Amino acid sequence: MTASAPAIRVQGLGVRFRRNRGGRRSIMDLFSDRSRRSKPGEFWALRDVAFDVQPGEAIGVVGRNGQGKSTLLKLVAGVMIPDEGDVQVHGGVAPLIEITGGFVGDLTVRENVKLTAGLHGMSRAGVARKYDGIIDFAELGDFQDTPYKHLSNGMKVRLAFAVVSQLEEQVLLVDEVLAVGDKAFREKCYARIDELLSEGRTLFFVSHNERDLRRFCSRGLYLDKGRLALDAPIEDVLARYDADYPVG
């Protein structure tokens, strides 16, 4: 990676979904030419989205419910393939949402930490070195042999953040699941995010909380109806969002 290579490069990105997946096609569709089959309710969840993120930048993604924020996060995390355009990430991604969803319910906390850290490229020695710190951070010392499925929702998020914040990937993807943690734990997470940013990591942060967005992010991306409506300093993005959708 050269000094000037962006941490994230997104070009012409588009993702299309079908609104009514369970919706019935007509029997005639089954016999018709595939390309002429009706595709009921197809829509672009994201289209023509393009931006670069430089290493060390902290970007906040804002927009109303259903405007494509989580979809964008999944594309940057590399767990979804776009229908158009592409996403390049340099230095790897540590995605909070995917880690939360990737834990295995029947495995213990200990087994899950080893499995997930390993899947995200941490060596056995690395896991051994970081394991105690992860458990301490998550405050789950008494739950190491508990099956993951028996943790409370807040505990699950603690574990996910504890793991994700120990990975050595360049880009940290943080979404709203953090809001499930209690106030004290959230503060601890925020302090850890500050630390990672000061080390030069890149933050890609989806939130509905303006205070949190202002705290971390210098730049914002405003998604509206699947389009990138504004890419600007976070204050300008929040002002435009508030003007488009005033409260009350």
Binding site for ligand ATP (CB under 6 A): 17, 45, 63, 65-71
Residue at 235: amino acid letter: E
CB of 45 to ligand ATP, least distance (A): 4
Q: CA-CA distances (angstroms) from residue 154 to 16, 148, 187?
A: 33, 12, 14
Q: Closest distance between ligand ATP and the C-beta of residue 39, in Å?
A: 12
Q: Which one, 4 or 65, has the nearer CB to ligand ATP?
A: 65
Q: Which two tokens stand for residue 48?
A: 């023509």
Cβ closest to ligand ATP, residue 77 vs residue 113: 77
Quote the CA–CA distance of 61 and 45 in Å, as a whole number.
15
Q: How far apart are CA 103 and CA 163, in angstroms?
A: 11
Q: Match 């992860």 to its residue by tokens.
A: 134
- Choose among 20, 74, 75: nearest CA to 42: 20
Judged by CB, which is closer to ligand ATP: 72, or 89? 72
Minimum CB distance to ligand ATP, residue 23 (Å): 11
Backbone angles phi, psi at 144, to 5 degrees: -60, -30
Residue 17 or 190: which CB sits closer to ligand ATP? 17
Nearest to 161 by CA among 186, 144, 141: 186
Rounded to the nearest whole angstrom, what is the least distance from the CB of residue 18 to ligand ATP in the complex? 6
In the complex, what is the shortest distance from the CB of residue 83 to ligand ATP, in angstroms, rounded to a whole number? 12
Q: Which is closer to ligand ATP, CB of 71 or CB of 166?
A: 71
User: What stretches of the chain adopt beta strand conformation (E)?
Assistant: 8-18, 42-53, 58-62, 84-89, 93-95, 171-174, 202-206, 219-224, 227-233
User: Which residue, 55 or 68, has its beta carbon nearer to ligand ATP?
Assistant: 68
- Minimum Å gap between C-beta 202 and ligand ATP is 20
